[in-house]
Amino acid sequence: MTDAQLSRLKWIPAKSWELRAATSMARLWHQQGKRQEAHDLLAPVYSWFTEGFDTADLQDAKTLLEALA
């Protein structure tokens, strides 16, 4: 395994947790009527991902982003 591959493996869990946190906060803000703020928080985090779109976390984030659009 190369250093780059190893570095990528370390990155994935942190970004996954950040996605979960952003999705939770965006959901709360959406419920409070802060649609634009919610979208502005979640969209950049979601855009970091280039794979794994079949996971529950990314599907949940996508569904929320669609509701915020």
Each residue's pLDDT, cut to its tens digit, for the chain (69 residues) gives: 456 655 555 556 778 889 999 999 999 999 999 999 999 999 999 999 988 899 999 999 999 999 999
Annotate the chain with three-state secondary structure: CCHHHHHHHHHHHHHHHHHHHHHHHHHHHHHCCCHHHHHHHHHHHHHCCCCCCCCHHHHHHHHHHHHHC
pTM: 0.80
Q: Quote the pLDDT of residue 14.
A: 78
